[in-house]
A and B are shown apart, each in its own frame.
Chain A
Amino acid sequence: MQDELILQLEEKRKSQEQFLNIRNRLAADLHDEVGSTLSSIIIYSEVADNYVDTEPEKTHSILMRIRNSSKRVIDAMRDIVWATHTSDNNQLNWSLKLRETAHSLLQESSIEFYFEEEVTHELLEFLPEVKRNLLLVFREAISNAMKHSKCTRIDCRMSIEKNRFQLSISDNGMGFDNSKISAGIGLKNRRNRMYAIGGTLDISGSHSGGVSIQLNWEDQILGPIAR
């Protein structure tokens, strides 16, 4: 009886510690990302100030960068707040967030975004870190397709099964050579982000058929602490 209680207390302490660690890591991450981007706005402004009287075109291009950096800071903060908010983690919330993220990234392009969802089970409650990494990888996938693929449409499909959450993002752009995929740093980072939360990332591309990215996350390792 007593042993059992001690064990329970010990488990509770451990899971609290784990939560604290996650929170600290998220805070450090946010600080680094937001701090770095804001610091670049300081530098941009100072360089623009040097050009403002003599080179209007350069000044204009720097002002646009300031605008884009500011937008990225806002996005990063919203993502973090969304990821740490656990109360409304449900299917509706996910599909809204994904659509809103894609829309915000694509609003100045003419790329069309289609979203489909297939849900057979209630969504498991994710740890903030799982939410954050999934969203970051999604964001990068959309933004890469926009910047590099010359596509006209992007299709996203979210599927939620018993223990599994899947996202697939595919574009109809120019694709790429499968043999050269592994070289990209961005891809490696995205893979690492998925591994870090116990998920996987598969990517396939061809010269004709665009790029398709699959994100899989299964609730197997995290089990009881996933809430």
Chain B
Amino acid sequence: MIRVLIFDDNEDRRDSLALLIESVSDFAVSGALSQANNVIEKVAILKPDVVLMDIDMPGTNGIEATRLIHATFPSLPVIIQTVFDDDDKIFQALKAGAAGYLLKNASSKVILSAIREVLHGGAPMTPAIAQRVLTFFRNEKTVKPDYGLTDRETDVLRLLTQGNSYKMIADQLEITFNTVNSHLKKVYEKLQVHSAGEAIAKSVRDQLF
């Protein structure tokens, strides 16, 4: 028996979901609640296998509730639902630990298969949302911090990150050891670091190259 806990402040939505879930022989409603305040206590008492979570509720909202559930019951899957196809909220919900995401216009068939899917480790999403999440990550990756390095300073930092010594950098760029040194001094200043090691760590972390 799959026990489903519903959070939604809209009474019709709650009622219709409960009716749908009770209409399937191996599903049961463990609770249908209008708000997610004290969500951990509620989950502990109602012991669901899956949570269906609305985003916009008075009091604790669905994203915060998901974060709390995920922190205390990491293996309990939460499926987020909302009428808004809002990139930012979708992303926040997934970062908060939601296992899947459905828009409220999903048919009952899609809702039921989403519940089965999360229990088998899947991540149900409508194709449009999956596309948006991918786009989000793609955009995320291309945003590199701009430290205002000159072309020469960038060359020096790149060679340093590739494992070259000061001497090797000087040879490759056909400049003197001292010039390398003064370029690096500026690089450290701009990156706000104090050593070659830190500069390398920062440029790798920020995916500068």
Contact = CB atoms under 8 A, between A and B. Distances in A.
Interface of A: 28, 31-33, 35-37, 39-44, 46-47, 50-51, 62, 65, 69, 72, 185, 189, 192
Contacts of B108: 42-43, 46-47
Contact of A39 (B56, B58, B83): B83
B16 interface: yes
Nearest to A61: B19
Contacts of A62: 19
Which of B34, B58, B84, B104 has the most chain A CB atoms inside 10 A of its CB?
B104
Contacts of B109: 46
B15 A40 contact: yes
Interface of B: 8, 10, 12-13, 15-17, 19-20, 23, 34-35, 54, 56, 58, 82-84, 104-109, 111
23 contacts: A28-B56, A28-B84, A32-B56, A32-B83, A35-B83, A36-B12, A39-B13, A39-B16, A40-B12, A41-B12, A42-B105, A43-B20, A43-B108, A44-B19, A46-B20, A46-B108, A47-B16, A47-B19, A47-B20, A47-B23, A69-B16, A185-B35, A189-B58
A42 B20 CA distance: 11
B107 A42 contact: yes
B10 A37 contact: yes
A40 B16 contact: yes
B10 A36 contact: yes
A42 B16 CA distance: 9
Given A31-B84, A43-B20, A36 B34 contact: no
Q: By DSSP majority rule, is chain A's interface helix, strand, loop, or mixed?
A: helix
Contacts of B23: 47, 50-51
Contacts of A37: 10, 12-13
Given A39-B105, A46-B108, A47-B20, A32 B84 contact: yes
B83 A46 contact: no
Question: Which of the listed residues B16, B23, B105, B108 has the most CB atoms from chain A within 10 Å of its own CB?
Answer: B16
A58 to B, nearest CB: 9
A65 B15 contact: yes
A31 B84 CA distance: 8
The 3 closest A-B pairs by CB, nearest first: A35-B83, A40-B16, A36-B10
Nearest to B86: A28
Contact of B83 (A36, A51, A185, A189): A36
Contacts of A35: 83, 104-105
